[in-house]
Structure 1
Amino acid sequence: MVVDAPLVFVVDDEPAMLDIVTFALETQGFMYQSFRSAEAAWTAMRNTTPDLVVLDVMLPGVSGITMCRRIKASTQVPVILLTAKGESADRIAGLEADADDYIVKPFHPRELALRAQRLVRRQSGSGLAIAAGPFALDPAGDNVMVNSVRVPLTPNEFKVMTALVSQPGKTLVFDRLLLAGWRETDRLGGRQMLKTAVYRLRHKLESAAPGAGECIESVRGSGYRLNID
């Protein structure tokens, strides 16, 4: 469960790009809704106001620039524009549409997630609170609270823990956790590296609260999951 998790509307007509953006947001504790057109996202905004919109510039029908102008004309929702173009004219158009940030494809998913966090924090005046069962994460400090006991983690451990806490009960496959923790899946010895990180995580959690380490369960041949039942 994510406590007061920010909601992001992701608008892009490329399925692969939607997957990249939504995964990057998901690993940082965001909720999201994805749309293939500006019209669909604008219709959804009549009933739901998101905390952030990640918006492709080149969309079929209504363009991202036009959609950004509509959003800014009637709401205070921050907007990140995505584009495959790097020309200054497109950057200027985005700024003139009052976009809050502008990212040129291809980009690093972690960079997008960090920029999204910055904008949401600026808008709300607070950080993200990610929690499941006895675990609560502080994305700003790479710490996990276990029944109110603070446990410092390494950056990689924190990213793996964030992925698990964001989806309690769901089996996260090895490659997904490697991508979350190290931003790659083909590193030599990657599974052993992940296994070592999980071992250390379990030990740290167990030191803070007996039984906490056992909440990270191995799923034979697949990956790991967080069991808080």
Structure 2
Amino acid sequence: MTAQSSLAFVVDDEPAMLDIVTFALETQGFTTESFRSAEAAWSALERSRPDLVVLDIMLPGISGISLCQRIKARWEVPVMLVTAKGEVSDRIAGLEAEADDYVAKPFHPRELALRAQRLVRRTDSSRIVVTAGIRLELDPGSHDVIVGTERVSLTNTEYKLLAALIAHPNSPLDFSQLLLMCWGEYDRHGDREMIKAAIYRMRHKLEATVPGSAAAIESVRGTGYLLRADR
């Protein structure tokens, strides 16, 4: 997806800043929806997923950091944090909340828009892989994977695991890495069996939809999995 067809949610309690950010994004081809609070943005996110969220840290009620954490816990949506503060502590808080980028006020509107374009392009490229001539594309809005031209419904666990594998094609990921990437946790008792069961179900779904597609996910004996992609 290109920025010309991308939807950005902009969240800021200051009307003037909302106007600046939305204008900057729209001049680069984004479609925008504006929200004055984290609560309003969250309600909209539960109905539909944008390609990007541009989020002010200092919001009334639920903070921008808290909203970023909520978004990242549920969806693969890139988040750019915007704040009047430039302190290191704010940047660290943003990184800990898994924000994808950070812009401090005052900023040049074109710089913000170009950063937004980069985030969307980077996210798109990490959702698509071709393996044995078969195209796999993640749909973050529905948590489906499109295999060739066929859509396959995945559970949240299956989707997270496949997203991690697609983002690191031809690279073995051990169980600890998968747990950390998908849930921010380290290896615990029973987690490996959960991953094995989810991978087994996912392979079965892929193969039943497009024969040969399940072979893309290879077991790395005793350690984890990798997704074999065409070079």
TM-score, normalized by length of structure 2?
0.53
For 2:85 and 2:35, locate their aligned partners in 1 and report how far apart those are by CA, in whole Å: 21
Structure 2 residue aligned with 1:36: 36
Q: How does 1:157-172 map to 2 (within 5 A)?
A: none
Structure 1 residue aligned with 2:50: 50
Structure 2 residue aligned with 1:76: 76
For 1:3 and 1:102, locate their aligned partners in 2 and report how far apart those are by CA, in whole Å: 19
Partner amino acid for 1:86? G
The answer on whether the counterparts of 2:3 and 2:29 sit within 8 Å (CA) in structure 1 is no
For 2:104 and 2:4, locate their aligned partners in 1 and report how far apart those are by CA, in whole Å: 29
Q: Which runs of 5+ in 1 are unaligned?
A: 127-229
Structure 1 residue runs of 4 or more that deviate by more than 3 Å after TM superposition? none
Identity of aligned residues (%): 74
Structure 2 residue aligned with 1:61: 61
Structure 1 residue aligned with 2:112: 112
The answer on whether the counterparts of 2:21 and 2:109 sit within 8 Å (CA) in structure 1 is yes
Structure 2 residue aligned with 1:122: 122
* 1:15 equivalenced with 2:15 (yes/no): yes
Structure 2 residue aligned with 1:90: 90
For 1:3 and 1:74, locate their aligned partners in 2 and report how far apart those are by CA, in whole Å: 23
Q: How many residues align?
A: 125
Please give the root-mean-square deviation of Cα atoms over the aligned residues, in Å. Answer: 1.6
Question: 1:134-160 CA deviation, whole Å, 9 max, x = no partner?
Answer: xxxxxxxxxxxxxxxxxxxxxxxxxxx
Distance 1:87 1:121, change over 3 A: same
Q: Which runs of 5+ in 2 are unaligned?
A: 127-231
The answer on whether the counterparts of 2:37 and 2:60 sit within 8 Å (CA) in structure 1 is yes
Question: 1:3, CA displacement in angstroms?
Answer: 9.1
Provide the secondary structure at the position in 2 that maps to 1:29.
coil
Structure 2 residue aligned with 1:174: none
Distance 1:111 1:36, change over 3 A: same
Question: 1:125, CA displacement in angstroms?
Answer: 2.5
Question: 1:124, CA displacement in angstroms?
Answer: 1.2
